[in-house]
Structure 1
Amino acid sequence: MDLDTVRTFVAAADAGRFQEVAAELAVTQQAVSKRIAALERELGVRLFTRNARGADLTIDGQAFLPHARELLRVAERAAASVQTGRRPLRVDVITSRSAQSALMRAFHRAHPDIELDVVMLFDIDTAVAAVRSGAVDASFRAVGAPGRPLPPDIASVRVLDEPLELLTGPAHALAGARSVPLTELVGHRIWMPGIVPGTEWAAYYDDLVAAFGLTIEATGPNFGSDALLDTIADTPALATFMGGRTRLVWPAGHGLRLVPVTDPTPVYPHSLLWHRDNPHPALPTLRAHLAAGAPGHDAAGTWTPDWVTPA
Structure 2
Amino acid sequence: MDLDTVRTFAAAADAGQFQEAAAELGVTQQAVSKRIAALERDLGVRLFTRTARGAELTIDGQAFLPHARELLRVAERAGASVGAGRRPLRVDVIASRSAQSGLLRGFHRAHPDIDLDVVMLFEIETAVAAIRSGAIDASFRAVAAPGRPFPEDIASVRVVDEPLQLLTGPAHALAGARSVPLAQLAGHRIWMPGIVPGTEWGAYYDDLAAEFGLTIEATGPNFGSDALLDTIADTPALATFMGEPTRLVWPAGYGLRRIPVTDPVPVYPHSLLWHRDNPHPALATLRAHLAATAAGHDAPGTWAPRWVIPH
Same fold (TM over 0.5): yes
Post-superposition offset of 1:211: 2.4
Counterpart of 2:193? 193
Aligned partners of 1:80 and 1:87 also within 8 Å: no
Counterpart of 1:138? 138
Q: What is the alpha-carbon distance in structure 1 between the residues aligned to residue 14 and residue 253 of structure 2?
A: 72
Q: Tell me the amino acid that sits aligned with residue 102 of structure 2.
A: A
Deviations 1:73-122 (A, max 9, x none): 22223333444444443322122222112212222222334343333221
Counterpart of 1:40? 40
Aligned partners of 2:167 and 2:242 also within 8 Å: yes
Q: What is the alpha-carbon distance in structure 1 between the residues aligned to residue 128 and residue 27 of structure 2?
A: 46
Aligned partners of 1:163 and 1:266 also within 8 Å: yes
Post-superposition offset of 1:287: 2.0
2:284 aligns to what SS in structure 1?
Answer: helix
Aligned partners of 2:103 and 2:294 also within 8 Å: no
Alignment of 1:187-266 (within 5 A): 187-266=187-266
Counterpart of 2:166? 166
Alignment of 1:1-311 (within 5 A): 1-51=1-51, 53-310=53-310
Deviating more after overlay: 72-81 vs 186-195: 72-81
Q: TM-score, normalised by structure 1?
A: 0.87
Q: What is the alpha-carbon distance in structure 2 between the residues aligned to residue 180 and residue 155 of structure 1?
A: 37
CA 1:45 to 1:95, structure 2 compared with 1: closer, same or farther past 3 Å? same
The gaps in structure 2 that reach 5 residues or longer are none
Q: What is the alpha-carbon distance in structure 2 between the residues aligned to residue 301 and residue 27 of structure 1?
A: 68
Deviating more after overlay: 183-192 vs 156-165: 183-192
Q: What is the alpha-carbon distance in structure 1 between the residues aligned to residue 252 and residue 21 of structure 2?
A: 73
Q: What is the alpha-carbon distance in structure 2 between the residues aligned to residue 59 and residue 235 of structure 1?
A: 84
Q: What is the alpha-carbon distance in structure 2 between the residues aligned to residue 256 and residue 300 of structure 1?
A: 29
CA 1:124 to 1:48, structure 2 compared with 1: closer, same or farther past 3 Å? same
Q: Tell me the amino acid that sits aligned with residue 246 of structure 1.
A: T
Give identity over the alignment, percent.
86
Q: What is the alpha-carbon distance in structure 2 between the residues aligned to residue 145 and residue 91 of structure 1?
A: 20
CA 1:233 to 1:66, structure 2 compared with 1: closer, same or farther past 3 Å? farther
Q: What is the alpha-carbon distance in structure 2 between the residues aligned to residue 35 and residue 152 of structure 1?
A: 43
Q: What is the alpha-carbon distance in structure 1 between the residues aligned to residue 202 and residue 27 of structure 2?
A: 63
CA 1:19 to 1:269, structure 2 compared with 1: closer, same or farther past 3 Å? same
Deviations 1:277-300 (A, max 9, x none): 444433333222212112232222
Q: Aligned-pair RMSD on alpha carbons?
A: 2.5
Post-superposition offset of 1:52: 5.1
Aligned partners of 1:169 and 1:232 also within 8 Å: yes
Post-superposition offset of 1:170: 3.4
CA 1:22 to 1:296, structure 2 compared with 1: closer, same or farther past 3 Å? closer
Post-superposition offset of 1:229: 2.0
Post-superposition offset of 1:239: 1.6
2:157 aligns to what SS in structure 1?
Answer: strand
Q: What is the alpha-carbon distance in structure 2 between the residues aligned to residue 171 and residue 13 of structure 1?
A: 84
Q: What is the alpha-carbon distance in structure 1 between the residues aligned to residue 194 and residue 133 of structure 2?
A: 28
Deviating more after overlay: 258-267 vs 51-60: 51-60
Deviations 1:94-152 (A, max 9, x none): 22222112212222222334343333221122223333444433222223332223133
Q: Tell me the amino acid that sits aligned with residue 297 of structure 2.
A: H
State how many pairs are aligned.
311
The gaps in structure 1 that reach 5 residues or longer are none
Q: TM-score, normalised by structure 2?
A: 0.87
Aligned partners of 2:18 and 2:33 also within 8 Å: yes
CA 1:307 to 1:19, structure 2 compared with 1: closer, same or farther past 3 Å? closer
CA 1:28 to 1:155, structure 2 compared with 1: closer, same or farther past 3 Å? closer
Q: Tell me the amino acid that sits aligned with residue 287 of structure 1.
A: R
Aligned partners of 2:114 and 2:282 also within 8 Å: yes
Q: What is the alpha-carbon distance in structure 2 between the residues aligned to residue 58 and residue 256 of structure 1?
A: 82
